[in-house]
A = this chain, B = another copy of it.
């Protein structure tokens, strides 16, 4: 396997001026990733677009990968803030509305910055941040599993771990695919949400009657 470059920031920025520099670098990285893709995102170009000298760039980030990792981090934080909130709120809801909310937030999360999300989804493996993203997936999975456990009596599934995996993976994939590759479906997002909800419920809930 390939050797991993360091992806941690080099030092904290302590003065306001330098914090602005760091922000500009991360922002410029995100913009270049979206506009030109990972390959054309050279450190020189990033520094340029940030209006910062290449020397300053290397004061804060040891490599291009570290910069991309910072972008990923920022994006993930945005997503998880939203997902965590909603998946915590659903605890008190009945199954049907809980699942509907979960599906909706998955779509919402993917729509936060779809173009960036797409580039990142493609580039994350190369930056060696896969574990971190796996950790996020696992958190979503764990939150959902927690909910299932609290409602175990109302479910027809027995292996809640497996069920949570199946649900979380599918919901994520549906949201991901729809947002990134089938935007026309979002014109009637409600219909998609309803269908996905029926999908999940048909699996989780015992047949009526």
Contacts and interface: CB of A to CB of B under 8 A. Distances in A.
Interface of A: 1-2, 35-40, 118, 122, 125-126, 134, 159, 162-163, 165-166, 169-170, 172-174, 177, 181-182, 185, 191-192, 195-196, 198-199, 202-203, 207-209
A159 B2 contact: no
Contact of A203 (B181, B192, B203): B203
Copies in the complex: 2
Contact of A208 (B35, B165, B202, B207): B207
Q: Would you call the interface of chain A mostly helix, strand, loop, or mixed?
A: helix
B126 A159 contact: no
A48 B148 CA distance: 54
Contacts of A36: 1-2
A207 B205 CA distance: 11
A125 B126 contact: no
A95 B168 CA distance: 24
Contact of A122 (B125, B169, B199, B209): B125
Contacts of A207: 207-209
A126 B122 contact: yes
Nearest to A40: B2
B170 A174 contact: yes
Contacts of A159: 195
